[in-house]
Structure 1
Amino acid sequence: MALPTAWSHLVLLLAVLLQLVASAASVPHRHRLPAHRLASLNASAPPTTYFEVDRPIRPPQGSFEGPCSALLLSSSFGATYGKPPVTAAYAPPACLAAARARGGSLALAVLEWSADCRGRQFDRIFGVWISGAELLRSCTAEPRATGIVWSVSRDVTRYAALLAEPGEIAVYLGNLVDSTYTGIYNVNLTLHLYFHAAPPPLTQQADLIVPVSRSLPLNDGQWFAVQNATDLESKKISIPSNTYRAVLEVFVSFHSNDEFWYTNPPNEYIEANNLSSVPGNGAFREVVVKVDQDIVGAVWPFTVIYTGGVNPLLWRPITGIGSFNLPTYDIDITPFLGKLLDGKEHDFGFSVTNALDVWYIDANLHLWLDHKSEKTIGSLISYDVPALVLNVDSGFSGLDGKFVTSASRHISATGWVKSSYGEVTTTFYQTFTYDNSNMYTKNGTVQAVNQTIDAKSGVFVKDTSAVLLSEEVHEVFPLYVYTGTSDQVGDEYSLVSLVKLGINEKRISGGKHGFLYSNLRNAQSARGTMKVKKNLVVSGLGQTHQVYKYVGTDGCYFRDVSSKNYTIISDNFDDSCSKRSPSSGVKFSSNKDQPARKLLKL
């Protein structure tokens, strides 16, 4: 996301010598359509629907009475940058209390963000909080003169404890409106609920959710802003004495000088070539999560590309993976409960290795409570956190060359907790590997980045007689970004870009509540060209192809969709689990025909 005071790499270099401009011009950037092109578009045409490809959110089997829907907030975000978040009182929908009174429970909760915009505007990051706990982190779509619409649906069932209590909704979307950037985002925020006839399983949802975020009043979002590599943002929290399980859910997004952190050259390259305005600190970032001074986990984030990133024409109408619904990252801190059950406040903090300004980070602490006792006890059995392994090899001749970055990390902890449910031992581990190749050619006018993040994590819970839960997640994030400039004449040039990114994820869990398995392969390839003058796109094109394949014990979903210049040119999808090809998928020939299938028929 572009912040008003922070331009991405290319803009910062347009004023330097031609050779230096050529070096930085290949770095990912964002541009805007000029006013005369916007005015030439047919303002009476229907708005374009933008969407992020994802599988449908389906009510679980056996659920009933749904959806029960409640409009939580309706607002327009115009000149809102540096202003307080928009707030509204939250009251649990009457149907939620009625279901509980009959002995039922929440089966599914979906938070739906729907918005429209017209004109010209940057992409803007935004967050949604209830009582300080973040429920959604997202990026706005970039509008056009004829208008756009889009929606985001997120499963928020895990926040059942929050949804059952009165509170306050806060939405921060820092937007600027002037004679150039005219887009105002009109937003509706809606909650949809489904119910089970019986109470939920014991460990399904947390009993209490404690926000690890900043408190209102603020003239910003409730996230922490990590501004450099030495910045540690934290909050003091005291947890209930009868807690028997604890999981931190971490929200992460990166902006300004670190929006394209995976393309950043080392400081040595910048100094050697006198590129003082180019963001540096190399191409590796790690979010470190601490409780007091102990590292309890890490996040090696998926490389979300926002809707204005690299070439904005790539993301119209298919947006980048994760751009509308940024992923969150779970860290099980149950092994550390022994030291946290002392009734005192403890520091929950976040830092980012090699960070440049700015990273927005906060978290939700999900706590499971023993309602049959006033106090649980525990102790840490083992704890292993070797130092981060980070290597950078480079070789350059002038502006051309290559630097290769590799890293690895392992974190593990085991601890026991004794409650009325017995003595339970929990082990949590994370293992990461990282490889990044960053090559400059043609006197620095071409940059090619090839990166892979491999992340594994697991939770094993057992009592004295059996394994209660065994869960493992393996994620691989491949990324390739190519940018090249040519035809440089003054402030006018051509840009060619190619982006390939994806998520390959396997999840396996088993225990007394059954066996679950899922396999996701989500791959996106986008390419485009632009003619740029004074940071405005005077001509260009973008095309994107995405294949989404999900197979799990909870169902299957397939989608193969392609777009070119705002138009869907093919779209095949199938939600069956048959082994045949998705011939039952429906094909659409235009964006009007296929406005992005809603995740729920609400």
Structure 2
Amino acid sequence: MTTSSAFHRRCLLLLCLCFTLLFHFHSCAASPRDLRFTAEDIAAVEAVLPSSLRQRQAKNTFFEVARPLRPPRGSSGPCSTLLLSHSFAFTFTKPPVTAAYSPPSCLSDAAGGGGGGARAVSLAVLEWRADCRGTQYDRIFGVWLGGAELLRGSTAEPRPGGVTWSVSKDVTKYASLLAAGNSTLAVYLGNLIDDTYDGVYNADLTLHLYFRRAARSPTASSAPADRVVPVSRSLPLNDGLWFVVDNTTDIESTRLTVPPNAYRAVLEVYVSSHNFDEFWYMNTPDQNGPFREVTVHLDGDVVGAVWPFPVIYTGGINPLIWRPITSIGSFNLPSYDVELTPFLGKLLDGKEHELGFAVTNAQKSWYVDANLHLWLDPKSSATSGGVIAYDAPKLTGKIVSNSSDGIDGRYDATASRNITATGWVRSSRGNITTTFTQRLTFVHTNVVSDKGSAQAINQTTAADTEVSGDGPHTQQVHQSFPLYIFLGGDGSGTSSQRLMRRVEIGLDETRSGGGAEESTSTLHNAQTAAAEVVLRDDQVVGASWRMHQVYEYGGSDGGCYSRNVSSIGYDVLFDHNEESCAGTRGR
């Protein structure tokens, strides 16, 4: 089969996949990789691009739009330390790359030689810089320190001339871990090398630290945890430290103990979807449908849920769309917080407790792990607590089909879940009651038309999370993840065809809380992208793609940022950004 006909066949399989949401047709059973293009596919497209767009010898820079990280006024630094430099060639099923970690000397210097280095940190930034030349798929990678995950991302798919990208992540919340004693840094990037895919990922990992004035310290509501306990697998491994969930009945767990003087606990969950569930939001009923959630289990009880943002990796749907502006969360996957403070009374008994994860409707594979952030009472050797109320009804949801011929029609899926827990903790701060509430809804519509040749997916996940009570750690968070995907084409059965993809994806968030130090922030992050490939007599004769992204962040502390950027092909058409609160939404 020639390169162009292979490309044509895969595109037809994509269209065939479009109308299988609620029915499985063996004649067009597509594998998960059919929502990805091979090296031959991309080469066929590159070959017909205008010479100004091909630039085959030039190294491209791909980027994910994010808010710049700025230290608070008056901070000193940065104090920068190269943690790791490595070339990831054939690393699949091999152990993670490790390096010995010792806290940089500037941490103890900032604390005047005392033990308060972590509290002196005003901003900690973990920077990942990487490049790759040749041909390669995108790969998932993770970074762990002492078993706690600090960063998860996907790599960029390179062009023959090479690609470079970087990620800067705020890791201030891990200050106590960074300032702790010697530990092990581990990085896993499962890359494959063969006769076709020869791209090697070269990466540098650097820690940048900034320090506040000695006279100032973080407020009670903003201070990072005193201890970060990993909830992950332990080295040695031939994979990442994440747990791997492969089906809907699988519960992956570990056992841990909590220090006796803890007064607050927050579980930070990392999650990513792969293999048969990489495109879970497009899955058919025989693939367990389009809804997924990660449930958090404490000694067998569901105490929280994560309804994940639909991260599209740089090779997903159509990799051209994500060049040079990558999809939201692709280079820096989000993590999700579950407040466990109401359950501290159960955890403070000095015994081991089982903390685990399951994925509703899961197929192979989901990578899940977490970090347990604990705040400790320095004036008490032991705190106490108890659970006052706990209610976690079962998930509700359904799928409704409306089709006259079993192909074209409308297919709807809905789901909802509510979880509430209230508990008290007695420490030197007094007797504080905390209530954690989650209200989650999911609405999904799939419209199939033109005898199965077109599919439009419209989906929204909404998550309302509230932490309330008489302590300083109150918070209200509302998140909404809208997603629209269109797969279709025209000219089927003729010598000339257009294969089209359109993606609209967004992340809207409002946050408020902090007790007497109440602060608010809003985020609107939206992408609209489209790609078109033109075939004539089974030969690729043209291709085009475009991306427009609007990012608007507004904070009550004045930390605002807006960016409006658009690209056509590999060229950035315009890129306007402003670091002020003028023009931001939701102020």
TM-score normalised by structure 1 residue count:
0.87
C-alpha displacement of 1:345: 0.8
Change (3 A) 1:476 1:43: closer
C-alpha displacement of 1:27: 10
Does the 8 A contact of 2:488 with 2:499 survive in 1?
yes
Query: Residues 123-138 of structure 1 correspond to what in structure 2 (within 5 A)?
Result: 123-138=138-153
Letter in 2 for 1:132: G
Does the 8 A contact of 1:22 with 1:445 survive in 2?
no
The aligned residue for residue 446 of structure 1 is: 454
Change (3 A) 1:28 1:177: closer
The aligned residue for residue 434 of structure 1 is: 442
How many residues align structurally?
554
The aligned residue for residue 422 of structure 1 is: 430
**Other structure's SS at 1:74 match:** strand
Does the 8 A contact of 2:15 with 2:454 survive in 1?
no
C-alpha displacement of 1:529: 1.5
1:475 aligns with 2:482: no
Q: Which runs of 5+ in 1 are unaligned?
A: 1-6, 268-279, 582-602
The alignment yields a C-alpha RMSD, in angstroms, of 2.9
The aligned residue for residue 103 of structure 2 is: 92
The superposition leaves residues 524-545 of structure 1 with CA deviations (integer Å, 9 ceiling, x where unpaired) of 0000013589x99885222110
- Between the aligned partners of 1:26 and 1:136, the Cα distance in structure 2 is 25
Change (3 A) 1:532 1:295: farther
C-alpha displacement of 1:384: 1.2
Letter in 2 for 1:335: P
The aligned residue for residue 503 of structure 2 is: 499
**Other structure's SS at 1:248 match:** strand
The aligned residue for residue 29 of structure 1 is: 35
**Other structure's SS at 1:262 match:** helix
1:163 to 178, 182, 187: 178
1:49 aligns with 2:61: yes
**Structure 1 stretch displaced more, 132-141 or 442-451:** 442-451
Query: Residues 70-469 of structure 1 correspond to what in structure 2 (within 5 A)?
Result: 70-101=81-112, 105-165=120-180, 166-198=182-214, 199-203=217-221, 204-267=223-286, 280-396=287-403, 397-462=405-470, 468-469=472-473
The superposition leaves residues 180-230 of structure 1 with CA deviations (integer Å, 9 ceiling, x where unpaired) of 111110000000000012343345111111100000111100001110110
The superposition leaves residues 138-186 of structure 1 with CA deviations (integer Å, 9 ceiling, x where unpaired) of 0000000111110001000000111012211111100011111111100
Letter in 2 for 1:435: V
C-alpha displacement of 1:81: 0.7
Letter in 2 for 1:127: G
Letter in 1 for 2:248: A
- Between the aligned partners of 1:314 and 1:44, the Cα distance in structure 2 is 18
**Other structure's SS at 2:343 match:** helix
TM-score normalised by structure 2 residue count:
0.89
Change (3 A) 1:542 1:37: closer
Does the 8 A contact of 2:45 with 2:543 survive in 1?
no
Change (3 A) 1:539 1:182: farther
Letter in 1 for 2:363: L
Change (3 A) 1:323 1:26: closer
The aligned residue for residue 563 of structure 1 is: 567
Does the 8 A contact of 2:56 with 2:159 survive in 1?
no
**Other structure's SS at 1:468 match:** coil
Change (3 A) 1:522 1:201: same
Does the 8 A contact of 2:57 with 2:160 survive in 1?
no
Letter in 2 for 1:543: R
Does the 8 A contact of 1:457 with 1:474 survive in 2?
yes
- Between the aligned partners of 2:69 and 2:416, the Cα distance in structure 1 is 35
C-alpha displacement of 1:26: 12
- Between the aligned partners of 1:322 and 1:580, the Cα distance in structure 2 is 21
Does the 8 A contact of 2:474 with 2:513 survive in 1?
yes
Query: Residues 58-69 of structure 1 correspond to what in structure 2 (within 5 A)?
Result: 58-64=70-76, 66-69=77-80
The superposition leaves residues 89-136 of structure 1 with CA deviations (integer Å, 9 ceiling, x where unpaired) of 111111111101267601100000000011111111110000110000
**Other structure's SS at 2:547 match:** strand
Change (3 A) 1:528 1:37: closer
Q: Percent identity?
A: 54
Change (3 A) 1:28 1:413: farther
Does the 8 A contact of 1:32 with 1:536 survive in 2?
no
**Other structure's SS at 1:145 match:** coil
- Between the aligned partners of 1:549 and 1:228, the Cα distance in structure 2 is 38
The aligned residue for residue 556 of structure 2 is: 553
